[in-house]
Amino acid sequence: MRERLDCALLCFDEPGGGMPCDEGVFARGRLVLHRVHQPVTSDDDVHVLVELASRLQRFDACMVAVSETNLAWVRQVLLAAFGRLRTPVIGLVANLTAPALCDLYNLGMADFVRAPLCPEELRIRIERALQPAGSWPNCGYTNTEPSPAAGVSDGTLSYVPAVPPARPANGSVTRRAWSGSQPCDADALRAEFLALLGEAALVASKLCVVSDESFASYKTSVIDHAVPAFLQGCLAKSSGNIALASRIAKKHRRAFWGLMRKHEVDAEPYRHGLSTSHYRRAG
């Protein structure tokens, strides 16, 4: 346990923002809160954490106030800083639902505390976030069988806490081991996808031998199955926020919306915290 922890209170100018707690020394001198102000020129300014990355290196953690009024903006800010911020982000949340908190975990938030702030609770959560073998959950769901460490299961999907990977020892900064939450089992899912894609290619080659299907027809059938699933994944990650989903897909918002209309993908179900088991299956 460290004798002193320094936490930055990030103060932005976004609508509904502001930090509802003051800087100072708390927890009998073991927690020091520092206000760090960063101006925001517009709601489209979502790179504020990236711009603060170097300044935040001197702190053990940083805290962002999150409420219903600025939730969408904070999601985009965390997405823009995903993998680029070395300082763990603690959310000071107010009136947020469980799906919203899970979404923030998926976007890189290390942990959260509820308003009004309890300094002792914040100190403990920062201590755990800095542990080299920390196990903060990344509220995703995987189609796996329940395990003793899986936690709650609904019978088909198991909640599996993700363990943040160890930060590479590059010699630049050595005081922190936390490197941000990563998508749950991303490497395993990618390997499974490539394996299934290889099997599909093999079937397609056999189909070409025994049928007169044209390349255009084959390409259309592949797109009709693959594109809706990709759109649904982006919408699930953004909790139905189309603007954020288009950023995830690296597509213009109009183009993303056009694909949704073409493939009849609706964003509404993902605004109610539905898990991946509710995806519409193509075909």
Listed by start position, the domains of the chain span: 5-133, 186-278
Residue length of the chain: 283
pLDDT given at position 275: 42
Q: What is the pLDDT of residues 176-214, one digit of tens each?
A: 334 444 444 567 777 777 777 777 777 777 777 788 878
Q: What is the pLDDT of residues 246-257, one digit of tens each?
A: 889 999 988 999
Residue whose token pair is 């209309």: 261
CB distance 80 to 101 below 8 Å: no
Residues 198/203/208/214 CA torsion (nearest 10 deg):
-70
Q: What is the pLDDT of residues 193-203, one digit of tens each?
A: 777 777 777 77
Nearest to 107, CA basis, from 220, 264, 236, 209: 236
Nearest to 227, CA basis, from 203, 251, 207: 251
pLDDT given at position 130: 87
The Cα 56–Cα 25 span in angstroms is 18
How does strand 5-11 pair with strand 31-37?
parallel
pLDDT given at position 31: 94
Residues 6+ apart with CB under 8 A from 50: 80, 81, 84, 85
What CATH number does domain 5-133 carry, 3.30.470.10, 3.30.70.360, 3.40.50.300, 3.40.50.280? Answer: 3.40.50.280
Mean pLDDT of 100-104: 88
Say what the pTM is. 0.50
pLDDT exceeds 50 at position 149: no
